[in-house]
Amino acid sequence: MRHALLPTVLLLAVGCGSTAGKTAPGLQAATDPLHDVKAVSRGQISAVVRNKANQAALKSCYERALKMDNHLTRSRVDVTVSVGTSGAVQRVVTKAPSSFISVESCIQRAVKHWVFPRGAEEYAVNFPLIMQGGM
């Protein structure tokens, strides 16, 4: 009897964070490093990352990749998102094993459509995705 792999995307809530006030490529450092952190809380960021529609888009990326290569059983993908003052995603950078390159590009496209909370300054958000196929 053959079992189908059911893809899951797990987010580590502890890994959700804001790098507001820290210098990142293409971003200016905030004059008050704590200003944006107060304006945009980890809870607000986590709500965007855990949004059902956003999760469904990530799961879809993984499902498509699994159909092409069923050996993609487990991986961690680190995601860094640059967010503009309007909350629009400016840039998405992912870091994953080379075997997950097809998943990476799909994740980047999906996250590019997310909308984060507005901030007084541009800010960056980072979080890990744990992708795994299960029984």
Q: What is the C-alpha R_g of the chain? A: 16
Query: Is it the case that residue 44 has pLDDT exceeding 70?
Result: yes
* pLDDT surpasses 50 at 1: no
- Given a cut of 70, whether residue 15 has pLDDT beyond it is no
Rounded mean pLDDT of the chain? 77
113 pLDDT exceeds 80?
Answer: yes
Task: Supply the DSSP symbol for 27.
Answer: -
**Average pLDDT of the residues in 81-110:** 93
Is residue 86's pLDDT more than 90? yes
Mean pLDDT of 34-58: 82
Region 53-60: mean pLDDT is 94
Q: Residue 92: is its pLDDT beyond 90?
A: yes
pTM over 0.85: no
- The yes-or-no verdict on residue 48 having pLDDT over 90 is yes
- For position 99, what pLDDT does the model report? 84
